[in-house]
Chains A and B, each alone.
Chain A
Amino acid sequence: MKPSARKPNWNVLGLLPAHLIMVLTLIIPIGIIIVVSFSTRGPYGGFEYVFTTAPYKQLLFNEGWTGELEFNPQYLIVVARTLVLSAVTTSICLLLSFPVAYFIALRRPTIKVLLIYLVTLPFWVSMIVRVYSWIIILGKDGVIEKTLRGVGLVDNMGSLLFGNTAMLVGLVYSYIPLMILPIFASIEKLDPALIEASHDLYGNRLITLRRVILPLTRPGMIAGAILVFVPSLGAVLEPTLLGGGKTMMMGNLIQLQFGGARNWPLGAAIAIVLMAAVMIFLVFQGLRSMRIEGLERAS
């Protein structure tokens, strides 16, 4: 029997501050965005409280150059590009993080603490400063070019800045600590006896990795993937500063709607779609990890 059945439940009161913060900083702002996304745009930006679904229709249909309403995938292209680049970022982070996290987890405690501290160190510096530093590293006469020229590998190479590569470098660099930490946590919890057992059962290194280590650290990888994928979707700095702003990501598109385009409702609608995409992704991942846990318990 639950204790709450007999005693008054003080948990609710105790959690009140948390609920208040959630409502004030999460629910109400999202509510405002939803309201704006169904409002009519003002002539010079802003919005008026007149209900319309036009912003959502604009996502797919626009007036063409001849003035007729036609299907226009321009925003869908931006959404698709954002999803692909975020997925690539997440994959690269995952591939790089696992060995790093594994390495750190196997060190002596003092060194382990030091290494984890080093992983989190970049968070002490402003995001803008960190992204800017990549301009100096990748740019013309930058650290990389000077080094390569110094050892005589290249004569005159083009700029590494501005393009998908530079943008991916920035995204991976920005978010990789968020991948390393949860994977590290799950590897640390891994019982070494299980690995020994695998070897005792004639599992070689590859089989041990595939059948024992990877399945047991999957929750950490899933958590890391979510932590990297979600902020990548909304990234604005990296596409602008390192990518050169030649193609838009969703963050840039939203910014354009609130700025130059003076179309707040459309900007809000895109933000809602972005959020919905994230939610669907999270629910999907949540179901998957529940299924995995269920399987583990069943076996």
Chain B
Amino acid sequence: MFKNPRVTSLVVASALGLAFTVSAHAEGKLSIYAWADSIAPDVVAKFEKETGIDVTVDAFSSNEDLLTKLQAGSSGYDIVTPSQHFVKIMIDSGLLEDIGASSMAAYQQILPEWQKPWWDPTGNYSIPLAFGNAGYTVNRDVYKGPVDSWKTYFEPPAELQGKIASLAQPDEVISAAQNYLGIKYCSEDPQEMKRVLDLLQAQKPYVAAYSSDNIENRIGGGEVGAHFWWDGNSMRVRRNDKANVEYAMPKEGLVGWLDSYVVPKGAANIDNAKKFIDFMAEIDNATDEYNYYGHSSPVQIDEAKALYSKENAPELFPTVPVKMGEACSPAAQELVTKVWTQLLQ
């Protein structure tokens, strides 16, 4: 997913792995590569003050960007924060350092349902940071109708035609279409995926843009009436910018995600990385982080100090099924790519 990316790192050269990353390998340093605006700056400053470790935080805007960077080798980062299916791919590809996560202090803070999940069954590699889901947000100044189904998004009514926006990458959009069509994720059946393509192609004439950048302005300002988006981002625009938006609860199901702290293979400052991960999981810091990021916390937080509740942030408490995104086999991923290429060819 592409949470709140402000600026896309679109330079092909970096994708080719030709860019030289200047990294901090000296003592007392920590380089973090995380989703844009995902780590609370106040908490980072507190960590720096308490430990004397110099922290730099860079931002990425898609799991694919992050994976490409790690595969290209020597990223120079000590902590990265991929989503669940990419954690699995990175573990399987040997891109991550075994940090013995299950024996760290942070591990004791993880809520039971998120311990040793399918993407990290031994619990050696990852400590969760935040979770949420992908769905769509409507601007209520533009569209007044029902938002209880993906039908509104994929087969839009007249008010929304030409005022729909999708994401620039297929990952979650195709999963959402699969929820709507009742097809399982990562299908390897070409006929099923052809149905996904047909649905997206029928939607395309009504789509204004396929873009993962600048979403908050596009949907908040009413440039489009419906936008593929994430729960916490939609909540923040509604609360902070007073935008008249509503996060849909499609009965066919939202697409779930969970981002984790992991350490890339060969990281220079593994001890500092573990210190930081433990620090972030301490209950006060986790609460501050939750209040800043606005996505659900998979570690224990101080409910008394938490800003968001069912009443003031219904986005974070879905009333419909949430199906976690899966790590597709190469064959299934090939079909996903084929759908997307033919859609935008």
Contact = CB atoms under 8 A, between A and B. Distances in A.
B221 A74 contact: no
Interface string B202-235: 0010011111011001000111000000000000
Contacts of B204: 246
Size band of the B side of the interface?
35 or more
A47 to B, nearest CB: 9
A128 B9 CA distance: 10
A45 B15 CA distance: 11
Given A46-B71, A65-B191, A260 B12 contact: no
B211 A234 contact: no
A236 B337 contact: no
A66 B340 CA distance: 17
A240 B169 CA distance: 11
Interface in B31-52: none
B12 A234 contact: yes
B211 A45 contact: no
Instruction: With a 10 A CB-CB cut-off, give which of A43, A46, A244, A259 has the most chain B CB atoms.
Output: A259
A188 interface: no
A267 B340 CA distance: 15
Given A236-B10, A260-B340, A271-B16, A67 B190 contact: yes
Contact of A240 (B10, B64, B65, B340): B10
A259 B214 contact: no
Interface in B306-334: 330, 333
Given A44-B89, A259-B64, A245 B209 contact: yes
A245 B15 contact: no
A254 B336 contact: no
Contact of A248 (B10, B67, B162, B345): B345
A246 B207 contact: yes
Contact of A263 (B11, B67, B337): B337
B191 A45 contact: no
Nearest to B336: A260
A18 interface: no
Contact of A259 (B11, B68, B92, B345): B68
B141 to A, nearest CB: 11
A159 interface: yes
Contacts of B336: 260
Given A46-B71, A240-B10, A256 B341 contact: yes
Contacts of B71: 42, 45-46
Nearest to A250: B12
Contacts of A268: 16
A62 B338 contact: yes
A169 interface: no
B150 to A, nearest CB: 21
Given A43-B330, A260-B64, A255 B338 contact: no
A258 B64 CA distance: 8
A145 to B, nearest CB: 11
A244 B209 contact: yes
B300 interface: no
B120 to A, nearest CB: 16
A161 interface: yes
B344 A245 contact: yes
Interface in A64-110: 65-67, 74-75, 77-78
Contacts of A252: 344
A244 B16 CA distance: 24
Interface in A142-178: 158-159, 161-162
B168 A44 contact: no
Closest A-B pairs by Cβ, 3 of them: A244-B209, A259-B64, A245-B210
Given A252-B344, A267-B15, 20 more contacts: A29-B18, A32-B18, A43-B330, A45-B67, A65-B193, A65-B194, A74-B342, A237-B8, A237-B10, A240-B213, A244-B209, A256-B341, A258-B15, A258-B16, A258-B68, A259-B65, A260-B64, A262-B64, A262-B333, A263-B337
Interface of B: 7-8, 10-12, 15-16, 18, 62, 64-65, 67-68, 71, 89, 92-93, 162, 168-171, 190-191, 193-194, 204, 207-211, 213-214, 217, 221-223, 330, 333, 336-338, 340-342, 344-345
